[in-house]
Each structure stands twice: as C-alpha cells, then as structure tokens.
Structure 1
C-alpha cells in the first residue's frame, strides 16, 4: 500500500521519476556493497559506487575484480542490480504491486509507457507481465544449458553458480564476468559463443520487438519498428563480422594466432558484443586501430529501444541514415517497408544523436583533463563504452583517477536512462506564447 501511495503522490515528470529511481537504486546498491560481507577485503566508497552504477546501468566496466574481490553475497547483489537495471526499475516495482494484488493506476501506466518507450499506455501492464516471465524463463534455460558445459569443468557448485551469473549478465547486456579476462578462455567454444551471444542479442533487440514477434505469426504483419530492428540487426551484425575478420585475421595478437574455426568464432563474438554486451573473447587493447574505430561506431549505435542495452539505439541510427538518403533524393519523408517515417520521429532521432555526441565529446574532454597520462585512444574508447553502457575497455578503467571514475559514473548513468530522457527531466516545459515569422538560414 505504501508503494502504491508513493506512485500516486509523485509530483515529478516521468523522465524525472525514472532518473531519480535509477539514482536511488545505485545508492542503495552502493550501501550494500560497502557491507563487510560483500567483499573479500576492503573497498572504497568510490569503487563501491562505481560497481553499483556499472551493474545498475548494465555496463560492465569494473575497477575491482568481480570474481575475486567480491564474495558470493556481493556477487548476488551485483546480479540483482543487473536485473533491476536490465528490465528497468519500474518493471520490478509494478511486478511487486501486482504480486501484492494491488491495482495499477493511470500514473503508474504513464511511468511504464515512458520506461518502455511506448506510444500509448494501452497494454503496458500486460507487456510487463509477459516480458518479466520471458526474461526469467530465458535466463533459466540458458543457465541449464551453460551448466552442461561448466559443471564438468568446475564441479556442481561453481559450475551451476557461474552458469546462473553469466546467464543473467548476458541477457541483461551487463558484461560482468567472474573471470578477469571475461570469456577469453572460450574464444573457440561454440557452446559458450552461441549461448552468450543469443542471450545478449535477444535482450538487446527490444522488449516490444520480442512481444510483437511472439504474438504475430507472419513477418508482413509485424510493426514497422519490429521489421526495422530485425532486418537492421541482421545486416549490421553480418557486416560487422566481415569487417572485424578482414581487419584482424592477420593480427598475431588477436586472430592471427588462432585456427580458422576459432578466427570465425572470435570475429563473430567481437562483432556483436560492442552493441552494449560487454563480454570479450579477444583482448580489446590488442586490436588494430581500424577495428577499434569501427568498434566505437558499434558502441555508439547500441542496441534496440526498450531493451536491456543502451547507445543511441539502432532504430535512431537507421532513421538518420534514411533521412539523409531521403534528402539527397529530393523527397519529403523517409519511406521503408511501404511506410512513411514522420518528421517528428526524424527530429527526435536527430536530437538524440546531437545530445549524445555532445555528452560524449564533453566527457572525452573531461577525461583528457583528469587522466593526462593516459593515451588519447584509451580515453575515447572508455567514454564511448561508458556512454553505450557496453563495458569493453582497452585497460584504462582500473587506472582511472577518482575524478575519472566520477566522470565515467555520470556517463554510465546518462547512457542508461537515455540522453533525451535526461534532457526532458532537466528541462522546464513551457508553451510558446508568440509565433514568429519564418526566416532563412544558409547551411552547408
């Protein structure tokens, strides 16, 4: 009842409520991680805050080793934060209210609409129920399948536990691993490669897309957003695999020393993981400069809208591309799959990209000041990874200064809640009182 009263009495806008909710979850996680039974040794407040933020924003950047510096209790706390961050704070709050048998009011549905990036409040509670159950079932099945691989290697206890941990981390695109080298020890293992990538691709494609696919029989009846996400994900992933393979297959530090089969598996994994997954099977810092720059693009694009991933989102990127092509062709509005994309959607996509580029640029500038001894490419990579909540690193994370950690914390937070959501949360809404005449501005 208290939770319901809290929801019904809130005076914040939905973006403000979501930002505050994520902030409170991070603070609460920090306090728990500071408990003596959460770590095997001592941990500073800053490192606890960094870890809690990384887990809640499902990023995966770490300043302390997850497997050795945290106890099982601390690791479970991290798993819970990952689940909250992946599915969203509102999802867990609404599910709790439903379990208590309470009614979901209009204000709660508006919050769900904002959290899931839906156009209307109709069916959002049903969507929450289905997706919550779906995520739990997916993680359970994946954990069982991973156990067949890891129980023979590590025994029943750790084998089952590590399967559960990596299943949750992968589906929620968190990138946390119990091994300091992530999944590098399984670079050519088809079971690990297929299961882990299937989990984070499924989690990153978007909850609304999953719901549409589960409830629609034929492709032509799918929503436009679903069609764009499915086709776009397939094309981007295929292109990424080919480019990574061509750029790295002669690099002795990454693919060059592997067999052809392992090269293909490593190329596939490293091509799909930058879109916010955060796991790696080859050392990121050893990749060629061309591969690093291409990975920056993938991290900036990110996953799907209303998913466990972040970035500017694939649909945003594709809408911008379509808008540019439409302008060059002298047409008015982008058309895809026999459907027009309205100018308001194009403007929203442009706003997201411009704000995102601005945030990343300012963060790179700030990190260049706070980390003067760090190579510039490491700073750029760290900023893109934090904003996209990817979790990949070229080795700078553990060497960050206290100020540098604070910058990355803010960047991870902005990346997870979304730059446009943050802008709406900070902006004051006002209606124009005067309409001004149109003026011409020369561009280009």
Structure 2
C-alpha cells in the first residue's frame, strides 16, 4: 500500500501525471511479490524515481521483510529478540533457531555479491548500446530484478530481453542470476560450506537434482516444440535456438524474462510453461510456485506407491509422512486457487482460455510471464491478479494457517474405515 501511494504520485511517472491507483497498486504488489506482471510499461511509464521505488520494493520482497528488518537491526546495533528469531526461523524455512542470525548475514552477503557481479557484467555489455550512466543504471536494475526473480525490465514497450535473443553474455548472466536466486539461500549456504562439511544436506540434493532436471527437460521440450515455429525459433541459428530454449526453460522458475514472443509460441509450449510456472522455484528462495521440493515429494510418493513401498525414500533418506501430506495439501490448495481464479477471469475477461490460465498461473507462481493479457485486464481482472500475486508470495499454506481457527489436540482417534480408490 505504501508503494502504491508513492507510485501514484506525479513525480513517479515519466509524464508528471498521476498514475491511476489501481495500476500503481498492481505494480507495487507485483514488485513486492517479485512477480513482474505490469499493466503499464516500467521503462517508459515510470520516471527514474518511480523505477527506483520499484527496485527497492523488489529487493525488500525478494530478501523478505524479516531479513531486511534484521539487517536494519544490525546497523542500529539492536539485539534480536527470541520472538524475532522464531519468525526468522519460519521465514527462512529452518528446522531450528541455531545459526539463524548467521544465515541472515549470509543471505544479505550472497544477495549483494551476486547482484553486484551481475550488475557489472550487464553494465559491460550495455555500454555497447547505451550511454555510460544509462548502462550502469540498467545493469544494476536488471541484476537486482533478475536475481530476485522479479522479471521487471526497463527496455521499454514490454520487450523484455527479446532484443538480446542472440546475445550469449546477456542470456547466460540472466540465467545464472535466476537460478542462483531460485535455489534458495539455504542451498547457497550449504554449497559454500561444502568444503567444511564435506557433504550436502538432503534438502540441497533434492533442490539441485530437481532444478537441474526441470531446466534440462524443459529446454529439450521447448526446443523440440518451437524448432520449426516461424513465429519464434525457425529463423534463428542453431546456437541461438538452444540458448533461447534454455532461457525460456529457466524463466518459469518464477523470473518472468523472455527472449521469444510468448504469444507466438505453440499452444503445447504455452501449456508446458504453465506447468513449469506452477512448480516454480525452491523453498527459502526469491521465487514462488508450489516449489521443487513439493513436486519431488509428490513424485516420490507416486513412485513408492507404484513399487508397493510404504516409505518415500530420497537419496537413502526416508521422508516423514507429515512432509508428504504437507506437499499434497499445498498442491491441492494451489490447484484450487488457480482453477477458481481462472474460472472467474474466464467470465470477466473476453480472451482465450489458455491466455487466462497462463496469466493466473504466472501470478500465482510470482513468475511475471504473460501472453499479453495483463495490459487488457478489466478492473475485476486486475484485482483478481493482485490477490493471486499476494497469495502466491505468501503461500497458500501460510494463508490457510492465518485464517484457520486455533487447532486443538484431538483426545482420541476414530475407528479405521475403508473406501475404494481408483
């Protein structure tokens, strides 16, 4: 709400006129929830002041409010209370409070370091196309946006990175920023401490293996589907086709960056991207979706059932049944939200069903990819997408816990009954 009030001021727009509040609220929500969907073009509609406000919202939303609050507490030399440590433990998806403050310091250090390197590499490339001051500003903006999986860009006219579809440096740096931001800070911390511990945690192994599989599998599918599509890849050299296929596979990790025209993709590719967006990034990261670990737990449960095993086993570790139940609950809640929002928008927006499903899933997964529907949304449509971005960033389970009545411990268990399944 604070961001919306500021972005609606005349000083925040390039023309000096007030931005309609609903559009300012949409942009502020998208930035804070690190989504990237916008009803007005960030590069041309907002002034430099407005863009900096958006960038600050992205950084706060990406790192997390509690992480930023803790950072300010460090600067003010204020003691972190037990209550704040407990909230941080939940915010960073930790099983205990041990080392939680050290992890917060690492989160900030990793973020600033990775964003700094990304900004430098982007600046070097943009110097060939822009004035030095503009190149530095564009480098910083896009490094922060892409690392936080926000997908905002200032290229103008909703172009994203389509002008750089054949540029290896821009594509590779963008993918590395998206992947490092989407892995999660716990995984990054685990990787940097590998030399000391000599082993990776189960969480890190699952995140790395599932993320790698989804990126590689996604790139192959997109490459095969779009190879002969005259609207996207057909005219591109082989190397550029491979590069664009990988970026379009990495982007649904919730980054919202594209080098191909999404509206020109084949319907099979568009629907496949919807699936990737729904899965999203990893826990404790700057991304959204149901998360790669949730998807892995579901696959593990299916595989165990097919093999007639009682336990879900990953990397020689057994998952607790409570984790599998949580994964199933989260997925069903997420599906219910996406289906409900899609049905509502299908009645309020006069557009193709797949375009609406794509938009809703992009908002829920805090991805930011669009087939062009965002700018054409009605007032009701904008409100629904704002709510989906907000819920997607909070997580459906978080919202469910917040709204549900206080749970009381059951004093007895009901007798076991049987129903026919399948």
Q: TM-score range by the shorter chain?
A: over 0.9
Which of 396, 405, 425 does residue 382 from structure 2 map onto? 405
Matches within 5 A, 1:212-361: 212-217=190-195, 221-361=199-339
Deviations 1:419-438 (A, max 9, x none): 11111111112212443222
Q: 1:152, CA displacement in angstroms?
A: 2.4
Indicate the residue corresponding to 1:374 in structure 2.
351
Matches within 5 A, 1:28-47: 28-40=2-14, 41-47=17-23
CA distance in 2, matches of 1:147, 1:163: 5
Which of 370, 379, 383 does residue 393 from structure 1 map onto? 370
Which of 182, 189, 192 does residue 211 from structure 1 map onto? 189
TM-score (norm: length of structure 2): 0.97
Which of 158, 167, 176 does residue 152 from structure 2 map onto? 176
Structure 1 gaps of 5+ residues are 1-26
CA distance in 1, matches of 2:306, 2:384: 39
Q: Secondary structure of the equivalent of 2:260?
A: coil
CA distance in 1, matches of 2:407, 2:111: 39
Indicate the residue corresponding to 1:189 in structure 2.
167
CA distance in 1, matches of 2:27, 2:389: 11
Q: Does structure 1 conserve the Cα–Cα contact (< 8 Å) formed by 2:254 and 2:368? A: yes
Which of 405, 412, 419 does residue 428 from structure 1 map onto? 405
Q: Does structure 1 conserve the Cα–Cα contact (< 8 Å) formed by 2:67 and 2:88? A: yes
CA distance in 1, matches of 2:65, 2:114: 19
Deviations 1:335-366 (A, max 9, x none): 11111111011001001101000010110011
Q: Does structure 2 conserve the Cα–Cα contact (< 8 Å) formed by 1:219 and 1:227? A: no
Q: Secondary structure of the equivalent of 2:255?
A: coil
TM-score (norm: length of structure 1): 0.92
Q: Does structure 1 conserve the Cα–Cα contact (< 8 Å) formed by 2:9 and 2:19? A: no
Indicate the residue corresponding to 2:52 in structure 1.
76
Q: After alignment, is 430-439 or 247-256 more displaced?
A: 430-439
Q: Does structure 1 conserve the Cα–Cα contact (< 8 Å) formed by 2:271 and 2:354? A: no
Q: 1:218, CA displacement in angstroms?
A: 8.1
CA distance in 2, matches of 1:425, 1:99: 31
Q: 1:306, CA displacement in angstroms?
A: 0.4
Q: Secondary structure of the equivalent of 1:217?
A: helix
> Does 1:57 pair with 2:61?
no
Aligned length: 417
Q: 1:220, CA displacement in angstroms?
A: 6.6
CA RMSD, Structure 1 to Structure 2 (Å): 1.1
Indicate the residue corresponding to 2:79 in structure 1.
103
Deviations 1:240-296 (A, max 9, x none): 111110000100000011111111111111111111010000000100011011101
Deviations 1:51-85 (A, max 9, x none): 00000000000100100100000000000000011
